[in-house]
Structure 1
């Protein structure tokens, strides 16, 4: 294989004259740390922080809490300062919680995850009540975006047996916080950024800004932190009229008054798009490196990790190999396994803060430039020299042409070349207002259906008073409102009612679901589809079926995507562990099989009124959901018009067609997946 090499100069982060006692040692702070410590109270509502991996940006997050403990009053005049740190994975949450507990024993740090709430023995709405207790009892809370999203959209209130839940509103949660840090925010897509902006809108409605004269109000600050900034976020903040400040950590080549974050790196580019073949080629070099140090291999796909792990176990039987992927058992001590391993095989999980403590890595660059930056930053942290071998994936000659200009590159000059050649993930800012309108309507709907009517009226009034969202968001909000009203009109016509209850309690008291199913199946289909559709907004990530897995090869009990299992694994047994109150199924799997794309997905969020075939999508259709939804919605609309159906349904179907523009994996609720596997 053809290859060429360059060197990346050592990287240092500039230290300032500000010091802080950390772990009993006096440490000079970096610019980001200094600004958060000294100037936090002067920062605007939004701050965007850019700092490469290894700069210690996370250690700045507790400073506002630490300062408030020394002062008479906290930020915005509040008596107590609380910070919320939002991280993308529970593994990172556990790691950072342990680190802060050790490093900053003077503050109370708690993690807020599903497993932590389960340990408290609480269920349903009681989980949210316990979450609020944890927040109120803590100085620093570390959580994931899933819990915040579920709470903001009223998920916990749907589980309550009473609507008297005023003390547990989402606004109560926000009122306890002084600042929120979204770490690794580059991982969020347009819908997820819109979700965060929805939180800002909710704060504006329910928690007025701090008034110094009255010492009342809220002064929450939002911090977005990443090594790879998203320009689209800045554009969105500007378009919404939000003031923000940007803090960029300076990386220098001069070691004076600086701390090393990455040693000198030799980077070898190999003309290959086959990672397995490249590793086979590099096996002699790997064996030499493993005699003295550990090695990290980063691949794009979990299947390739598992296949490569099997191959390397045969080639390197004397070494401990660990797969650092999402395919792990709950509670698995990943950090301990990583520390004990000689050879670590990772997927894109390597991009989100895990410290592998390696100086030699072979990697695929990832789909986007953002992936590459995060992966590249895992190697030779501190002052250690190291080597990265990159599988160039058909970009070899363009990279060779540009990088051969010099044998030695500074970190930022090197990244500039890589950014030109690696595709950046497109961020479609024009989609965000659409999502924002949808989210606001769904939150309003949850409040009126599952909480109390007065809060709904208050939110509606404040929304109209503030007028703090644009025409696109308003139009999307009104579309959802129109669909909901049309469905209610259809229910009234079908059951000959003068009105439809506004809340879930009334629907159940009048047994409307049962009556619709028995007397008006077409109206029941519309109601059922719409309920399923808006319930997808309770989840922050893409939808999918997660099932229990017993992997005989890896000897693991875990939960994982059924989609992936059916595509890649031989299924030996299927066992129903529980039928009520919901079904739990365990799949016993063994070796990898030839990838199976002949799958049928049974879904509940594609319109299907009178068209049973719309309930099923092929593997190909699942990867073109906008077109799949358009086809299904048009089919329903055309059939209703031809059949002479009452005008309410036709008008409703016409409105539903407009949902296609934002129909993606987050809106896809998969009920079941059918496979042609001979066992099944």
Structure 2
């Protein structure tokens, strides 16, 4: 086995004052700038700063990318407020809430009749009978749903974005590198409005692997004087972020093979009451290896039920009967298990008590750094084994660069910023206008994010919560991309009165505006029921099922009573996984503004160009539309090119469901 090893040295952050805040944490709480973009290593305590804001009687809206991270953050924050700030458990339960689909389900099962109305009330106050700070931990889809909800709630008809800006001291976007260009509208809205007049809220963006978002904010007319780009300075003394971590790059065929070679280390960690974490690149590989992993863990003396699977499929599992070796489900607390077997879903802020980590490198440099940072938190030393093969090297220039750097420093001890520098430099080569020296970015948010934000702004202006002076305020401070999107849509709608093209034009424009409600293009899901419906039920993306199983070729796809498509299989998912996946391309059934005909397009990085070609010369093209309405047709094409959004007939993900 080819192995390259080096040590990433222990590093700390300075602590100041009674609360022991670092300079970055203090800046997040006290900076006068309205917009803060903060970069700090994993484990540096970015979210801890806002725990202290709550302890100081401030209100925080903390927006995170996944349901599991929301639950993890709530559990950790609750424990810390009781332990460190002497809150009692009742106060904690009343002053911290979750806004996600799991909490929606829990409230509904508890008899809550109108959960949307409850959350509208919670914008202003969680518990008005008690003093103290408060935090709402939310996934972005729920926040967006409240802003763009379809109907007024009794007694709360006009509560919306201005209420959020005036009732929270802090609006935080955690792990902001995960925000897609189409989903930046929510963040862009808060950032732009927070810099206008004297709103209470300040907006913070947190990440260990930040994207360069400042150019998009400037394009949205956010004043540069209101943007603070913050960086945590690491020191040799202070609060330890990570101990010494031995990093080993290992060339081998599979993670089970790598784990077998280090079973003594696995057994030692579990004997000490520590966790072992395993992170895969591909969900299909994880599922294929479960039988082999079970044999390995049983051989190490690990008991059934002590290994948790953490990934999109197993997180969605319900009806667990307590049988089988592995545990699964979002309701499970990751800290309660000896071993975690996961995919990229654990990269986003979830903390473990693990000093031993086996991982594949991820598909991007930021994946690598986020995964590496899961191990050896605090003053603990650790070991990270990274599996790679020739295929990974051939596909990932950034990993080849990392490997060359590691070989140059074989058996050396290096600083964490050396590792961060080599990874960020590899990422920077992929986008133009690299940031100035010393700034560590892992990508650049494209300009289409500004225009997607402009679309979001216009849709919000038409919402019932923004009438009279609120509409006037949004109109007055409308950023340039929003103005451009407005005029382009207005131009396309000039076709709406035409006898031949009007219905298609109106439908296309309405659907295009509705795209603002979908922050993340998750894709269509299928419910799969194991053991002919008697076993576990879980959700999987249809494209994943088609690529990695033959289920859809062998069993009928049914419509369940709740309107979801489902399929019943005789056995377990693993029984139907393919050793070699099917070559199935993702597609989208695209619509056009001048015809009811649709076109099946490949849903990849070139879909906008393919849509434009089909629009101009494809089967659905109509020369008469171009002749009669040239400006409207050009405007439609420009809307698609500026935003990257494709109107389709495909089933939409419910924007308010908190799907992650």
Question: Which band: TM-score by shorter chain?
Answer: 0.7 to 0.9
Per the alignment, residue 510 of structure 1 pairs with none
Is 1:182 the equivalent of 2:173? yes
Describe how 1:238-317 pairs up with structure 2 within 5 A.
Answer: 240-242=222-224, 243-252=226-235, 254-255=236-237, 258-271=238-251, 274=253, 276=254, 279-286=256-263, 288-293=265-270, 294-317=275-298
Return the offset for 1:333: 5.4
CA distance in 1, matches of 2:171, 2:333: 32
TM-score (norm 2): 0.78
Contact 1:92 1:353 (8 Å CA) reproduced? yes
Return the offset for 1:223: 1.1
Distance 1:366 1:666, change over 3 A: farther
Q: Deviations over 1:504-548 (max 9, x none)?
A: xxxxxxxxxxxxxxxx7x543333333333222112111421232
Per the alignment, residue 389 of structure 1 pairs with 385
Return the offset for 1:649: 5.7
Return the offset for 1:172: 3.1
CA distance in 1, matches of 2:79, 2:459: 41
Is 1:596 the equivalent of 2:582? yes
Per the alignment, residue 511 of structure 2 pairs with 532
CA distance in 2, matches of 1:611, 1:236: 37
Aligned mate of 1:30, from 22, 33, 56: 22
Describe how 1:669-680 pairs up with structure 2 within 5 A.
Answer: 670-671=650-651
Return the offset for 1:568: 1.8
Describe how 1:93-172 pairs up with structure 2 within 5 A.
Answer: 93-104=70-81, 105=87, 108-121=95-108, 126-138=114-126, 139-152=134-147, 154=148, 156=149, 158-159=150-151, 166-172=157-163
Per the alignment, residue 13 of structure 2 pairs with 13
More displaced, 307-316 or 175-184?
Answer: 307-316
Aligned mate of 2:424, from 419, 440, 447: 419
CA distance in 2, matches of 1:125, 1:462: 34
CA distance in 2, matches of 1:665, 1:657: 11
CA distance in 2, matches of 1:427, 1:32: 23
Return the offset for 1:411: 1.2
Contact 2:167 2:201 (8 Å CA) reproduced? no
Contact 2:173 2:187 (8 Å CA) reproduced? no
Per the alignment, residue 548 of structure 1 pairs with 527
Per the alignment, residue 499 of structure 1 pairs with none
Contact 1:13 1:260 (8 Å CA) reproduced? yes
More displaced, 292-301 or 381-390?
Answer: 292-301
Contact 2:38 2:204 (8 Å CA) reproduced? yes
Query: SS at the partner of 1:150?
Result: helix
Give unpaired runs (5+ residues) of structure 1: 21-27, 69-80, 211-217, 495-519, 674-680
Query: SS at the partner of 1:353?
Result: coil
Larger Rg: 1
Query: SS at the partner of 2:121?
Result: helix
Return the offset for 1:287: 5.3
Query: SS at the partner of 1:245?
Result: strand
CA distance in 1, matches of 2:418, 2:216: 25
Q: Which has the higher contact order (CA 8 A, sep 6+)?
A: 2
Per the alignment, residue 214 of structure 1 pairs with none
TM-score (norm 1): 0.76
CA distance in 2, matches of 1:574, 1:436: 37
CA distance in 1, matches of 2:560, 2:297: 39
Contact 2:452 2:516 (8 Å CA) reproduced? no
Aligned mate of 1:563, from 543, 556, 560: 543
Q: Deviations over 1:316-369 (max 9, x none)?
A: 434354321122226765574634544322111121122232222222222222
Return the offset for 1:479: 0.6
Return the offset for 1:124: 13
Aligned mate of 2:349, from 350, 353, 364: 353
Q: Deviations over 1:16-52 (max 9, x none)?
A: 2x123xxxxxxx3333344455xx2x52111222222
Query: SS at the partner of 1:578?
Result: coil
Per the alignment, residue 436 of structure 1 pairs with 453
Per the alignment, residue 606 of structure 1 pairs with 591
Contact 2:34 2:194 (8 Å CA) reproduced? no
Per the alignment, residue 636 of structure 2 pairs with 656
Per the alignment, residue 609 of structure 2 pairs with 627
Query: SS at the partner of 1:53?
Result: coil
Per the alignment, residue 501 of structure 1 pairs with none
Q: Deviations over 1:480-514 (max 9, x none)?
A: 22223432x23xxx3xxxxxxxxxxxxxxxxxxxx
Runs of 4+ in structure 1 displaced over 6 angstroms?
A: 122-125
CA distance in 1, matches of 2:105, 2:41: 35
CA distance in 2, matches of 1:64, 1:341: 31
Return the offset for 1:409: 0.5
CA distance in 1, matches of 2:642, 2:288: 36
CA distance in 1, matches of 2:565, 2:216: 45
Per the alignment, residue 363 of structure 2 pairs with 367
Return the offset for 1:301: 1.5
CA distance in 2, matches of 1:160, 1:595: 47
CA distance in 2, matches of 1:321, 1:121: 30
Contact 1:637 1:653 (8 Å CA) reproduced? no
Give unpaired runs (5+ residues) of structure 2: 82-86, 127-133, 319-327, 431-441, 654-660
Return the offset for 1:180: 0.5
